[in-house]
Amino acid sequence: NGGCSGDIFIDTRIDGINSLAPDGTAIDIQGGVDAGKGESLNSTSPAPCFASVFMQAYSGVTLAGGVDTSGADDRGNDGGTDGRGGSANDLRIQVVDGPIVISGPLDISGGDGEYTGGDAAFTEIVGNTVEITADISLRGGNADPALTGSAGGSSNDIIILGNNGLGAVTNSGTVNI
């Protein structure tokens, strides 16, 4: 089975539990965040991974390099009923009082498998304003349609919410679900 990634928590909470620092603290990531899973060959069941990427800030989140929480691909090609793609990890970005600016791609897709594709994961992006200029992919993984009984993975939900009302969310990238 493909390997699992661990949870990634990036936050500006004062005590690490509940208190947010109201002093203008923000998250600014110029490189990418990679929580994708390892690949496999002819797996009979995807690795049972339940990890997530969670970002919480008081005054904003900037993501220039993108986030990858995609499921593992299975590289099997023997024509059998093994070869199962892994499911993706959840992505949650929450900002209390500031903007979210995403200019790098978000990949929350399921992995491809010869017999079964993995499922995409839930995604939530909530801030005062949300500006996305990159592509977002929440597609289920592919399976070989020539194999009887094979099935692709499911897509999943995405919530993008701007708390400042009309015009609070803008997206110029492509959303693939």
The pLDDT-based confidence of 109 (bands split at 50, 70, 90) is very high
CA neighbours closer than 13 Å in the CB half-sphere of residue 67 = 29
Is residue 118 exposed (0-12), middle (13-18) or buried (19+ Cβ within 10 Å)?
buried
> What rounded mean pLDDT belongs to the chain?
84
Determine the Cα–Cα distance for residues 162 and 151; give it in Å rounded to an integer.
35
pTM: 0.85
Residue 171 sits at φ, ψ, to 5 deg, of -140, 120
Residues 6 or more apart whose CB falls under 8 angstroms from that of 18 comprise: none
The pLDDT-based confidence of 57 (bands split at 50, 70, 90) is confident
